[in-house]
Amino acid sequence: MAEPTLNPADGSPSAPSAPAPPTRRTLWVEVCCVLALSLGASAVAATISFVGALTAPAALSEQTASLVTSAADAERPWLDLSWQLYRLLFAFAPVALVLYLLHRSGESARTIGFDLRRPGFDLGWGVLLAAGIGLGGLVVYLVSVQLGVNRPIAPSTLHGHWWQHAVLVLQAVKNGVLEEVVVVGYLLLRLERLGWSPVRAAAASAVLRAFYHLYQGVGMFVGNLVMGLVFCWFHRRFGRVMPLVVAHALIDVVAFVGSVYLIGRLDWLPGA
């Protein structure tokens, strides 16, 4: 927001002037920078990883995609925890950047519905979305692994230290905040400012989401494409990103923490 200036006539503070709207060029540069520092870069990395998996000697169904991995050997849990906290902390940097850019252009987190004004609405819809998307995603995952077009996923390969569950929950919350604030709330708002239609903007957001999950395989590419379209529709309908954050975090908490207890114990659930 603009700061108050001094009146040249008597030196008294004058009312702050409204910030000038950013030009189209500025908006495009801003969007490209945000994505290059966050999930756009992840989409490129996921594509390279998928190409590498396709050209590997082993079939996709014989490989494993690990999500939350250890950063040190089991004998040094303090070092592993330090790396986990480092990754978590700096993963929120793109979110902080997005909120700053919104504030600078005269908007705020409230503009995209990233606030605590409606906790009941956000929690209720978040649980419903998590149930629907989570169950559908599980079916897509199981079928795609059986068809050989998806890697089995190991949500957590941590060593089982006392802090494991806390880190997994924080990772899930980080994923929900980062992805939904950047790829839904921020990106849809900026594409709208650039004159894109709601359908075109939603398609771009969903395709981006699908691509940064491509390292897992074709099945999760399709599953996340559908998830992205549903989430964009919801945000367009209600103007709030918080239910999407709640839904995404719940899905990942169940996947990450559940994997610790279920993979290897349920024959129908693939994984490492």
Domain assignment present for residue 34? The answer is yes
In a domain, 149, yes or no: yes
Evaluate whether residue 268 is within a structural domain: no
pLDDT digit string (tens) for the chain, length 272 residues: 455 555 555 556 665 566 667 789 999 999 999 999 999 999 999 999 999 999 999 999 899 999 999 999 999 999 999 999 999 999 999 999 999 999 999 999 999 999 999 999 999 999 999 999 999 999 999 999 999 999 999 988 898 899 999 999 999 999 999 999 999 999 999 999 999 999 999 999 999 999 999 999 999 999 999 999 999 999 999 999 999 999 999 999 999 999 888 877 788 888 65
Q: Report H helices in the chain.
A: 24-36, 39-54, 77-91, 93-104, 119-147, 164-179, 187-193, 198-211, 218-238, 242-262
The pTM is what? 0.90
Residue 5 lies in a domain: no
Give, as one character, the DSSP assignment of residue 6: E
* Structural domains counted in the chain: 1
The answer to whether 21 and 105 are in contact (CB under 8 A) is yes
Is 272 part of a structural domain of the chain?
no
Whole-angstrom distance, CA of residue 235 vs CA of residue 1? 26
Q: Structural domain of residue 157, as residue ranges?
A: 20-262
Decide if 119 is inside a domain. yes
